[in-house]
Amino acid sequence: MDYLAPMVRENPQHMSLYWWYAFILYGFIAILCGLSIQREQRAGKFYSVYSQPINLSGFWVSKITAIALFVLGASMLLGLLVGLTTFLNSVPQAISLARILFGSIAIAVSSIWQIPLCLWLANKAGTFLPLLINIVMGLASTFIGSTPYWWVVPYTWASKISEPITGIKSSGEMGAIANHSMMLIPIILCMATLLFLILTFATSKWFARQEVK
């Protein structure tokens, strides 16, 4: 990893963002989902939920929404801290604060599809499985994102949407922002939103069919 050292010294902005969406964010989502499921299981393995006359699908969707808002808030806070820290330390800003904040929001939106999936996996097999999958796929996305088949793997969407906004490539290097690549932004946001809705609907229906065991 020595080749990354000059990049970090020259521009801590883009490396902070890169490490966030390429590695840390995926683990963060998996851990949040795992802790959410663990809390319910420790409270009685959803006994209190299934015993109440409530909409079970709505309960599951509310849990997904709460985690999604938390992830969005954390991404925005990180973007704000990265922008302000470099400004206060008089470090040259290769990326404007507006692009950092917009990129942080777009990265979060393109990653929230993982929440219903990780909640379902955590409920089925515990926290370790979704954490392992997200970390491995996060690492793999840095290589897959540079191929023509990136769009097939949703884990690459965060890095690909960052390219036209911040200029950070999937490899972590800074590059020129091509105007034609701006079309990636609405395309990826639409794909991520659609996948999020599909997984939320499917897992909420699955949760509603569960019985207390």
Model pLDDT, residue 30: 96
Query: Which among 173, 157, 9, 24 is positioned nearest to 86, based on CA atoms?
Result: 9
Q: Please state whether the predicted TM-score (pTM) of the whole model is above 0.85.
A: yes
pLDDT at 9 over 50: no
Among 164, 167, 156, which residue's Cα sits nearest to residue 191? 156
How far apart, in whole angstroms, are the C-alpha atoms of residue 77 and residue 210? 37
**Sorting pLDDT into bands at 50, 70 and 90, what band is 84?**
confident
pLDDT beyond 70 at 3: no
CA distance 169 to 163: 5
pLDDT per position as a tens digit, 20-57? 888 899 999 999 999 999 887 776 667 667 667 778 88
Mean pLDDT of 130-144: 90
The better pLDDT of the pair 179, 9 is held by: 179
Look up residue 175 and give its two tokens.
């590059």
Mean pLDDT of 129-140: 92
Q: In angstroms, what CA-CA distances link 116 with 34, 58, 111? A: 11, 13, 11
Distance CA 198, CA 52 (A): 26
Q: Which has the higher per-residue pLDDT, 176 or 103?
A: 103
Tokens of 76: 């925005």
